[in-house]
Every structure is written in C-alpha cells, then in structure tokens.
Structure 1
C-alpha cells in the first residue's frame, strides 16, 4: 500500500491542482477547452502512436490480453443490457450509465502504469489501449443511440476518433518494420511527455461537484460497480485465463479506473443525459483516489 500511494498520489495531486487552478481563475477560462483539444487531437495521439510503434506486437501477451478484454467487456455489456430491460432506461440515460461503467480515464491509467512498471508496463498498456479504445468507443456510441443495431452512422464517429487512428497508425508502422524518420522519435517523446500531466490537469479542471446533487443513489451504485465490481470481474477473468502477474495488474487497473472526462462531450453531442454524466465523472474521479490503492492491494 505505501508503494502504491507513493506512485499514485502525484497523479491525484495534478487533478486537484487542475481543479484549483480553474476555480481560482489562475488561467483564462478559454485556456481549458483549448488545452483539452490540444491534448485530444495532438499530444495524446502522439503518445499512443509512439507507444504502439515501438511496442512488441509479437508479444505473447497480446492474444491473452485480447481474450481477457473481450470476455470482460462482453460480460459487462450483457449485464448493462439486462439492467436496461429491467428498468426501461431511455437511450439518453442508458448511454451515460453505460459510459460510467465501461469507459476509463486513459490519462490516469497510463500515468499510474508508468509510475508502477515503467516502460515494460507502458508497452502492455499500449496493447491494452489498442484493444479497449475502439471497443469502448463503439459501445458508448451504440448505448447513446436509439437504434436497435449497429449501422454505418454509428461506425463513422468511431473511425474518425483520433485515438483510434493513432493506435491503428502506430500498429501499422510497427508491423511494416519501418523505422521512424530521424529525429521524429525524440519529437514524439516530447509530445508524449506533455500529454499526461496536461491531461490530468484538465481532468481536475472538468470536475463539477455541483452536479452530484439529485442523483446520489444512481451515482452510488454506478461508482460501486465501476470502481469495485469491474476490477473484481477483471481479476476473475485474469485468474480464469491464468494471466501473468504484470498483465493481470494492468488489466485490473484499467477496469478499476474512473470513467473518462471525454464521455461528457460525447454524451452532449449525442443527446444524452449530460447532468448525470458530469456527476458520474466527478464522483468516480474523486472516489478513485481511495479505491485504486485499495483494489490494487486486495487484488494483486
């Protein structure tokens, strides 16, 4: 537990710092939307591209991680569909609840794994993102849609996602065996290094405690499922598939992360319940400061 706290507390310190900077108006209000856009379209894709371009895609962990991710998401999605049938959630509400359960704060995940495992952990995390980012975005758009099945209209936002495009480009470059142009490796490293701290500051700036009122029972059970039940599910899957220790920890950590702040943007764009989504992002991010060390200690 002390080692985990030492690795994780600087990450949450950055989140708190972002919250205080915005609430104290230390920076202009229009700085934060620009910072989020810079990170989402340039810095963070550079990190993903660089990680996957250099990741060992012949890594024997890839088939195991693919099976674990697929099994975990299928079980969680099935449970969500059963809940929707039982409670009759409309698409606007179901989409927010589904994203609260399925999406994850990638900035926090990569920063935590880098602190815990260094480059070897980040290589595994890049493989995990290549699997999770397309799948979770697809399910999120599907959950917010009133359409009963998948369609080309639903797939287009997925195919235009800069994170997915960066993962695909990095993987393709890796598979071709072509080296990065001279100097570009250093450039990508610099862009990647800026991504995580800026992303965590933006997470804190986006917190909206006032959105917690009025939805406390829903927030409570969704947070419990995301922060406790989902990592327990990942632990069971890891045991069933006999994953090695480091792969198990990376899988459990990704399933234990709070939901992504970008879920609010997607929810608003597709007509979902923005108030509920903002409450889920805020409550999960705040509670994760306690739940992440607890989960990683109890589910080694």
Structure 2
C-alpha cells in the first residue's frame, strides 16, 4: 500500500508542484499580474487550442471518442450543476448564488484534469482527455454563463448570446478543427507537427504557473463559510457521487480514471474572470479557487489511491 501511495504521488506531484512554483514566483516578484494576464491569454487563445488539436490529431478517435463516456460525462456534469444550484437555492443568499454554483461545479479540466490524465495514462490519457475537453468547454461555459446571467445585472442569458460565446471559444475551435484530420486520417507535414509540438508544450507549464500566481491567501482568509461550502461540494461530494455513479455504470480502467480526474479537478481559474465580468462576488470566486486548488493535492491523491487499491483503474 505504501508503494501504491508513492506511485499516486508520482502522478500528481509534477502538476501541483508547478502550481506552487507559480505561487513562489509571484511572491518573489519574478512574475506579476501583467505577465499572468498576457500568458493566460496566450494559453487560452493559442497554445491550448494547438495542444488540444494535436492531442486529437494523434489519437485513435474511433477508440478514444467512446459514446458511453461522453454521454455519461455530459449527464454527470448536468446533474452536478443542478445539485449545486439546488443547494444554493436553499442555503446561499441570492446575490451570491451564481458565483457559488459556478465555483462548485466548474472544474479546471482543460489544464489540471488534462495534465493528470496525461501523466496517468500517457498518449491514451491525452487523447481521451482531449475529447472530453471539448465537452468540458461546451458544458461548463454554457452552464456557467446561464447561472451567472440569471443573477447578474449585466450579462445576457438569451440563447443567441450564449451560443455566440460558446461557438467563438478558441478551445472549441481547436477541438472541432482536429476532428476531420483524426477521423479521416488526413496527414500534416512533419515540420508542421514538430513546430506545433514545440508550441503546444508551453501550455501546461505556463498555465499551471499562471494559476499558481493568481492564488491569494488574504482572499482565502476573508472568504467565510460560503467558499468552504462550495469547495467541499467541488472537491468531495460531487467527485464522490459522480465517480461512484460511473463505477456503478460499469466504467473501469482508463475511462474511470480519467472521469474521476475530471470530476475531481479544482475550480477553474476562469471562474474568477467570469464572476468579475458578471459583477458578482469576485473575492468569493478567488477564495474557492484557492481552497480547491490547495485541496486537490490531497483529495486527488486519496481518490486515485482508493481506485488503484480497489483495482478499478
């Protein structure tokens, strides 16, 4: 069991160490808010779309794009969203509900979840994780926009506005652009792939350092019980319920492992930007990001340890 614990730590430690390096670099002044904003924009608009494109391009899409996995993930995401919203209707003040619900269900799967899936399962994890990332982007952005718009005086929640925001997302465009190449086996020149690989390799280190640089302990101390409640929902209750449901549905091996990692990812840093744009409680959003990111180093290891100990992944 001790050997299994060290094996689990070996999977997650490289990812979370980059987060804490980002905290350190911000603390000593080697990166600042300007760098984080510029680098985050580069990741979102360029390097991550290329990484997702190449992940799908190099994959056996007929094997990675499992309809059962994709359907289950969509249903589980919608179920988790409705559960978090239902709890917020009962226990959370109205003006805080949009930020609370977004923080409680929206995981950082495009960065942390995908990095862990790749670390655990290599090329197959990257392929399956990249396909799931398309659904992550679609589901999370749509649902977050809806719930924030309902409780915001500035965002529009009509279907046309939501559809426009989703369809113009660079990550979705990168994923959709790759499907014809992977599905029909269209080959690109070797030099294009090599250049793309160099460019895409910047994505995870740069993104993880930026997330670490955004963490704010003062916001954590002033967050109160709402941030803790949303964080427990995100890191404990929803991953446990969704992973148990996946196990009951018969998922095993890499499929169950990647599903767990996506369910158990910390709250996406983009939730802070969206909360601020919606004129919501941005400090609450930041606190949820801090708590879930720090908690993920523990909860993800515990979850992987249990799943490996049971022989299910």
Query: TM > 0.5 between the two?
Result: yes
TM-score, normalization: structure 2?
0.89
2-structure distance, mates of 1:87, 1:102: 16
Query: Which stretches in structure 2 are left out of the alignment for 5+ residues?
Result: 309-313
The alignment status of 1:155 with 2:158, answered yes or no, reads: no
Q: Residue 16 of structure 2 corresponds to which residue in structure 1?
A: 12
Q: Residue 311 of structure 2 corresponds to which residue in structure 1?
A: none
Q: Residue 33 of structure 1 corresponds to which residue in structure 2?
A: 37
2-structure distance, mates of 1:182, 1:136: 34
Q: Among residues 110, 117, 120, which one is paired with 1:113 in the alignment?
A: 117
Alignment check: 8 A CA contact 1:130 1:164 kept: yes
Q: Residue 96 of structure 1 corresponds to which residue in structure 2?
A: 99
Which stretch of the first structure deviates more once superposed, 230-239 or 242-251? 230-239
The structure-2 alpha-carbon separation of the partners of 1:220 and 1:168, relative to structure 1 and needing over 3 Å to count, comes to same
Aligned length: 299
SS state of the match for residue 30, structure 1? Answer: helix
CA RMSD of aligned residues (A): 2.0
Q: CA deviation at 1:162?
A: 1.1
The structure-2 alpha-carbon separation of the partners of 1:35 and 1:240, relative to structure 1 and needing over 3 Å to count, comes to same
SS state of the match for residue 253, structure 1? Answer: helix
Q: Residue 250 of structure 1 corresponds to which residue in structure 2?
A: 258
SS state of the match for residue 10, structure 2? Answer: helix
TM-score, normalization: structure 1?
0.93
Q: CA deviation at 1:19?
A: 0.9
2-structure distance, mates of 1:23, 1:56: 43
Which stretch of the first structure deviates more once superposed, 105-114 or 198-207? 105-114
The alignment status of 1:71 with 2:75, answered yes or no, reads: yes
Query: Which stretches in structure 1 are left out of the alignment for 5+ residues?
Result: none
Runs of 4+ in 1 over 6 A off after TM superposition: none
Alignment check: 8 A CA contact 1:107 1:196 kept: yes
Q: Residue 134 of structure 1 corresponds to which residue in structure 2?
A: 138
Alignment check: 8 A CA contact 2:85 2:101 kept: no
Q: How do residues 191-230 of structure 1 correspond to structure 2 at under 5 angstroms?
A: 191-230=199-238
